[in-house]
Amino acid sequence: MPVRQRNHSRKNPFYRRNLRFVTAFLSLAIAALANQAPTVFAQDRQALALQFPHIFVFQGPSIKKVALTFDDGPDDLYTPQILSILKREHVHATFFVLGIHVQKYPHVILRIKNEGHAIGNHSYDHDNLQKASSWHILWEVERTERLLKKTVRVTTRLFRAPYGNVNNAMLRQLGKRGYQVVNWSVDSQDWRSLSAKQVLQNTLPAVNPGSIILMHCAGNPKEILTGTVQALPELIHTLRSRGYAFVTIPELFSPHTATVHAKW
């Protein structure tokens, strides 16, 4: 007598449960391989901005100004090239820097300061602080604070969480320390080692008055930011032709709104 085959059709509850398990497992595995923490979705950002109006921002006032922001620096490869373009184009940007890179490239962070750019704290080593304890968040922030003060005599109250990941407890903790937590409204996704064309496609259509544009000036050794460097002049020229002015984060929010009690 032939062995009866077990029914593995999609209507089988056992099959469906296992399919869901396998799908979830694969999703987690893919996320782990990509080394990407979950991001805060637009609707979550809006809710947080309403709940913490003096602490959390991701979009500026509706004025014909935009803020270029660069994360994960400094380094001695891409950051100097970006600084040279910004200097040539007479643009001031905001650099959210890692303490570990401030420590490694003190001459570059000094150049960022001397050329008139705003500086923000981006944690010490880019840990996912959304999953961290309150004491670890404080350690990451304070260590970078001390390095900035020691290296370039800068005290900043701008903070951007790694991956943009924030939660209510983190915002309350940082708000008590006088920080403004800054996310973004336009994501270039340049950390994916994109071409200049792809960087421009991700940014230009999404820009509107008050946009905060996320780009990178450094990253891990696998991230190639040549596309960012090559796209930057065209990005600046195109937005200027549309009537936009480039400002730092402090300039974007002052004096039009009193969003934060921190000292810039």
Catalytic annotation present for 71: yes
Do you find a cis peptide bond into 255, omega within 30 degrees of 0? yes
Percent with pLDDT over 70 in the chain: 80
pLDDT of 260 over the 90 cut: no
pLDDT of 14 over the 90 cut: no
Residues 178, 121: Cα–Cα separation, whole Å: 13
DSSP 192: G
Q: Out of 127, 216, 256, 261, pick the active-site residue.
A: 216
pLDDT of 3 over the 80 cut: no
Q: Is the pTM of this model over 0.85?
A: no
Q: Out of 8, 44, 71, 75, pick the active-site residue.
A: 71
pLDDT digits (tens, 9 = 90+) for 48-74: 999 999 999 999 999 999 999 999 999
Phi and psi torsions of 97, nearest 5°: -105, 155
Give the pLDDT band (50/70/90) at residue 23.
Answer: very low
Name beta bridge partners: 95. Answer: 70, 119
* Structure confidence at residue 5 (pLDDT): 41
Catalytic annotation present for 216: yes
* Structure confidence at residue 254 (pLDDT): 85
Residues 92, 90: Cα–Cα separation, whole Å: 7
What 3-state class would DSSP assign to 80?
helix
Overall average pLDDT of the 205-234 stretch: 96
Domain 42-253 has CATH 3.20.20.370: yes
